[in-house]
Structure 1
Amino acid sequence: MTEPAYVRIAGEIARDIRSGALPARTQLPSYAELAKQHNVSEIVIRRVRDLLLSQGLVYAIERRGLFVAARPTLVRISPERQMEDPEVTFGNEAAGGDDEVRIERESTIKQADEELADIFGISPGDDIEHITVSASEYGKPTSISDSYQLPGTNVAEAEQLEEILADRPPSPTHAVWLEVSSGELVKNVRQRFLKNDGRVLMVSDVSYPKDRYDSFVFRMNLEPQP
């Protein structure tokens, strides 16, 4: 999936802030200057502003502009960015960019148990694709996910994303990757990617270290009601 320009630009600025290239209380260039630097419209830069503000990386002073926050936080934007590749997501968050980010993927075909069969409307024992994605930064684990979908599914066709966020004990494999005990709580997001008719395209179980994110921001498109 192509990354929106405002997400890419916000990621570049975020990396400069976290790396110290843009120290606390530094004033960012004006919207017009940023638009010219990145060859985009000021409308795009205003979306960059909104994203940086929501992440706690900058603050605004009326009639003066945007300034780097004294204590930049790390905020997970979801579900808006959940469809992008993890290299992009964690590369945008890493202070030094994606050079320090390592992503490991494993995809296997297994037989669906009764729970997965019920979710996807198939019979127990039918083929299901299991995808495990593990992410680390500077050798430190940052995320692990288990996703399930029918073989050949194009998840980019999803029209709805449902997410449930909670502090939960991790599964045994998630505990091993995150280097925590099985009884220790982690940040967990359970996702369902759906069509508008309710058909499930993919389910995911994603775990993060409990202190990885200060907060989560959930966004979704709403259809105006007459």
Structure 2
Amino acid sequence: MPTTPAYLRIAADLRAEILSGRIAAGAKLPSETALMRQHGVSRTVIKWAISVLKGEGIVEGRAGSGVYVRDARRLVRLAHGQDMRRAGGDGPTSPFARDALRAGHRGTWEHDSRHDVADARIASRLGVDPGTPVMRTAYRFLADAEPIQLSTSYEPLSITQGTPIEWPEDGAAVGVVARMDVIGVHVDEFVERVSLRAATQAESEALGLPARSVTVHLIERTYYAAGRPVETADIVLPGGRYELVYRIPVD
């Protein structure tokens, strides 16, 4: 079984101390020398571990002083089915915009939509044949102009082509649920599968993470209308910048 590199183990230990509050916001981390003694590793390993935390936005270096825990709010991704249909009410229908607003950030995003075909993995999630035409949209989400989330979504063109919502960012409604309502497709369920993995090089570059391996959350989310998948997405979140919270109704 593969062994986790020492620098990732040390980064995980420090991250846990910070997120639990045992190392408070604004506090200075132990020196590299102290961490070397504590963990029995070289200075290079400690530098790599701290680089991971810097890339996640958890700590920051101050020239001539040391490394400090950033006094920054993490985004809480609150997954539930409420407030997703209000296209023009008293709150945003974009899940990301809601999460950013709740944390006191200004949420914006960049996008690139194009016609594509579903590969075997996406076809399986959408319940269609490989090669089926889809709308593929790649997003980069920013909180106060800082990249914080990536997402790539896929919608079967058999549902949206020729409708006002074919191009996801061109209409007035924002978010899958509110957009599908526009064409009379009533989303009544979504499923999320969450895992952890190392960031790819492209993800690291898009999110401004260190070149060395950083852990990200991968959320495979699929929306359903009467049991039919209408959209699926791969959502990538830097591990230290998000808290994932799920509110599940109990009948």
**Mapped partners of 2:208, 2:73: distance in 1:** 25
Letter in 2 for 1:143: Q
Deviations 1:32-60 (A, max 9, x none): xxxxxxxxxxxxxxxxxxxxxxxxxxxxx
Is residue 205 from structure 1 mapped to residue 234 from structure 2 by the alignment? yes
Q: Given the alignment of the two structures, is residue 76 of structure 1 paired with residue 104 of structure 2, yes or no?
A: no
TM (normalized to structure 2)?
Answer: 0.50
* Correspondences of 1:29-44 after superposition (within 5 Å): none
Shift of 1:147: 0.8
What is the identity percentage for the equivalent residue pairs of Structure 1 and Structure 2? 21
Q: Measure how far apart 1:129 and its partner are.
A: 0.9
What are structure 1's unaligned runs of at least 5 residues?
A: 1-70
Aligned CA distance change for structure 1 residues 121 and 174 (closer, same or farther; 3 Å)? same
1:220 Cα deviation from its structure 2 partner: 3.3
Map 1:34-113 onto structure 2 (within 5 A): 74-80=75-81, 83=84, 84-85=93-94, 88-95=97-104, 97-98=105-106, 101-113=107-119
**Corresponding residue for 2:225?**
195
SS at match of 2:214: coil
1:81–1:208 Cα change, 3 Å:
farther
TM-score w.r.t. structure 1 length?
0.55
Q: CA deviation at 1:202?
A: 1.2
Q: Which runs of 5+ in 2 are unaligned?
A: 1-71, 85-92, 166-175, 178-185
Instruction: Go from structure 1 to structure 2 and tell me whether the alpha carbon gap of 1:86 and 1:167 turns closer, same or farther (over 3 Å shift).
Output: same
The size of the alignment, in residue pairs, is 148
Work out the CA distance in 1 between the residues paired with 2:138 and 2:83: 15
Task: Mark the CA change 1:171 to 1:149 in structure 2 (over 3 Å): closer, same or farther.
Answer: farther
- Is 1:174 paired with 2:203? yes
How many Å separate the matches in 2 of 1:170 and 1:142?
A: 13
Which residue identity is paired with 1:136?
A: L
Instruction: Give 1 or 2 for the bigger CA radius of gyration.
Output: 2
Superposed counterparts of 1:117-136, under 5 Å: 117-136=123-142
